[in-house]
Amino acid sequence: LADTVNELLAEPEKLRELQRNAYQYGLHLRWPKIGADYLRLLEQVLAQAAVAASPRHLLVDPEIMPEFSLAHVCRLTDDTGIVQHAKYGIPNLKEGYCLDDNARALTMALMTYQQNKSKEALGLLPIYLSYIHYVQRDDGNFRNFLSFRREYLDEIGSEDSFGRTVWALGFLIYCAPNNSYREFGGELFSRSVPHFGQLRHLRGVANTMIGVAYYLRAHPDDDGLVAELKTLTATLLGAYAAHRGPGWHWFEEKLTYDNAILPLALLHAAEITGDEHARRVALESLAFLDGLSFRGGYLSPVGNQGWFHRDQTAEMPLFDQQAIETMAMVLVYLQAYQTTHQPAFIARMFSSYQWFLGENILRVPLYDQETKGCCDGLQETALNRNQGAESTLAYLISHLTVLKALELEHEYDESAQATTPEVKPPTAAQPKVAVPKGAESRLEVAAGEMGLGA
């Protein structure tokens, strides 16, 4: 046995081939496949009419999705807010709270209430909203970190946390369960508006754009906020124009974290303003990101060990992979589907979601069926077994997004999908791309599947 192991370690290509073969074989042994076989057998024996969970043409299969549960979120939440970190499945009170997570938690709770009118989610809403209120400064900006003793740990939070909070507040204004929440959210949102023009970091800009877009869905006649959205959109488009080049269709010189949030923001903005250029840039940059992020049929987002630089000739770093990256991919594919009605985006969205369930580079699930939490990421040799707020909320938001997609699939019948006009971005000549080995072909395949130019 030792000789065999040593032989495989000495021949990486042989080891990879063995891994691929084992994976393909294992696809037929997983519980979703075996369970489905048992279900079909029972239906035949009982001679019942076949009642599928979804029509055969649907690309989302709800049967393999775990039951939705807020158990771990409730475990992490006290009367101050949601605790930032966990040791395994236990709240780590030493690390306190942060605005990013409470903003995401507010968004998740609203999505949950939208989906199933959950009283549990409704009970969580005021906790997260009161945290946002508590950390908002007199000038309308926000602090970020709070100790377990409710002491402020910073004076001004990051632009990312600002943008995520504007997103949550805009979403609250759009779909609040009652006027009290809507009016309170509107007050906090309005106080933050003067800071929009000071944003310099692209992800802060992008998150803010999404929040403003949701606000404008509720208040389409607010010309001042329409102008703010157009200004923010111009910032992203300017960054894209400055960095786009042969084989590099991106907003920066490197891929880092939360990448899909950038095309997602442009898709939201284009829906509100009708900016066709923003829409085309969003779809082109998404095709580029897709080509780098899918390998072997599963999502493998850029790892945070060095990120991926424009002039890098080595393979894109694979580790550590984080849940927020996957959440952003799930969200952007759904928004792209709503924009184009192209089913390929739904397929990609569901494949991205399955990253949480084991369709990833390590072939292990991050979602914990026992705790109902989500592990913090994929490391090179194992899971990060801590189940903090960020990763758990990323999973739940992704789950809820898939459920929304399932509803939309029922709305758009096959004939409507077939007659939807094909979307094509600019057709400028594209020289060879300096991307990881094999990524160029993946980009071409992805673009072809989605009806986009490579």
Contact between 56 and 46 under an 8 Å Cβ cutoff? The reply is no
Q: What CATH number corresponds to the domain at position 418?
A: 1.50.10.10
Q: Is residue 45 part of a domain?
A: no
Residue 37 resides in a domain: no
Write the CB contacts of 259 (distance below 8 Å, at least 6 apart in sequence): 289, 301, 302, 325, 328
Q: What is the pLDDT along the chain (454 residues), one digit of tens a residue?
A: 888 888 888 888 888 888 888 887 777 777 877 888 888 888 777 755 544 444 446 788 899 999 999 999 999 999 999 999 999 999 999 999 999 999 999 999 999 999 999 999 999 999 999 999 999 999 999 999 999 999 999 999 999 999 999 999 999 999 999 999 999 999 999 999 999 999 999 999 999 999 999 999 999 999 999 999 999 999 999 999 999 999 999 999 999 999 999 999 999 999 999 999 999 999 999 999 999 999 888 999 999 998 999 988 778 899 999 999 999 999 999 999 999 999 999 999 999 999 999 999 999 999 999 999 999 999 999 999 999 999 999 999 999 999 999 998 877 654 454 444 443 433 333 333 334 444 444 444 444 545 554 3
Residue of 278, 277, 284, 276 lying closest to 266 (CA atoms) = 278
Looking at residue 84, what DSSP letter applies?
A: S
Total domains in the chain come to: 1
In a domain, 33, yes or no: no
Contact 347, 452 (CB under 8 A): no
Distances (CA, A) of 221 to 224, 230, 321: 9, 14, 41
Q: What angle do CA 136, 142, 148 make, to 5 degrees?
A: 80
Domain that holds residue 297: 52-450
Give the Cβ contact number of residue 307 at 10 Å: 17
- Residue 244 within any structural domain of the chain: yes
Is 356 within 8 Å of 365 (Cβ atoms)?
A: yes
- In three-state secondary structure terms, 254 is strand
**Burial category of 274 from C-beta neighbours within 10 Å (exposed 0-12, middle 13-18, buried 19 and up):** exposed
3-state secondary structure of 72: helix
What's this model's pTM, rounded to 2 decimal places?
Answer: 0.81
Q: Are 33 and 27 in contact (CB under 8 A)?
A: yes
Residue whose pair of structure tokens reads 């507010």 in the numeric block: 106
Tell whether 11 is covered by a domain: no
34 within domain boundaries: no
Counts of helices then strands in the chain (DSSP H, E): 17, 11
In a domain, 90, yes or no: yes
Place of tokens 């992704």: 398
In a domain, 274, yes or no: yes
DSSP-based three-state secondary structure for 231: helix
